[in-house]
Structure 1
């Protein structure tokens, strides 16, 4: 059974390898300082990771006034190749949406990382309900209300509890 949980220090080496294998590594020892991090664990092994911030004002300070308030920001997400297309990524996004809502935020935003699998990443995020919220292109922000993500997964929202 898939378990989404907070990262522990024991996970750092595996997370570092997972990020590196997805071309998302920082080239050194993994350190999640200043970020919230959850991992997806299956049969005792970490198979996915997501780094996020629950309180983010991306855009407003950079002259992007149309960005919604009360947003959380998905920074980095990676799933082991062997576990893609098995619900791991969607479970990570859903957990972040739940935590976002619990923190009183109403919107989840991100910038899909560029790379060899950019099209696949964009297709995945669209399937989760996230869409471009500014003119589409490299570095464009995507997002959607967390209630939309949770409703699609059948998770009770604050309004529905």
Structure 2
């Protein structure tokens, strides 16, 4: 397979139609959404085409908001991550996750977290393996809790 250059950058307004299409195809976004739902959005591009998207927040505190006092507090949280089918397996998703980790580190955040959609059968298992390959592990304090995470530096070093 030939080397293809992928660029990850903050999403612009003219990226939103592609973002919506990618999220809908991956079943992780609303079909009627015209703007990203979360505070920050980045896109992975090949040439001028958007091939992947990540929606995230750099100051999320899901654990403490859920009254889990043992939770580490402020973290970067990935809400949605999706890559066009034809681009999967080429490192695009990993580049998007590392982009969030870089932004988090620059903002002084030390933990990157997300909820893996394990309920989707084999696709969920594939997703879990993908996040494990980036150094993420379950943060669950109770069975069935889908929260996963890793120190930002571990994601960047992985």
- In the superposition, the TM-score normalised over structure 1's length comes to 0.88
Structure 1 portions without partners, runs of 5+? 153-161
CA drift at 1:19: 0.7
Residue 96 in 1 paired to residue 88 in 2?
A: no
> For residues 34 and 87 of structure 1, what CA distance do their matches in structure 2 show?
23
Aligned to 1:60: 64
Structure having the larger proportion of residues in helix: 2
The runs of at least 4 aligned residues of structure 1 exceeding 4 Å deviation read 135-139
Structure 2 portions without partners, runs of 5+? none
> For residues 88 and 148 of structure 2, what CA distance do their matches in structure 1 show?
21
Write the deviation string for residues 63-111 of structure 1: whole angstroms up to 9, x where unpaired: 2122212311011000000001101000001110000010110000100
CA drift at 1:24: 1.4
Is the Cα–Cα contact under 8 Å of residues 70 and 104 in structure 1 kept in the other structure? no
CA drift at 1:43: 2.0
Show the 5 A alignment for 1:112-131: 112-113=116-117, 114-116=119-121, 117-131=123-137
Task: Tell me the matched-pair count.
Answer: 152
CA drift at 1:136: 7.3
The one of 13, 16, 20 equivalent to 1:12 is: 16
> For residues 46 and 132 of structure 2, what CA distance do their matches in structure 1 show?
25
Is the Cα–Cα contact under 8 Å of residues 112 and 139 in structure 1 kept in the other structure? no
Aligned to 2:43: 39
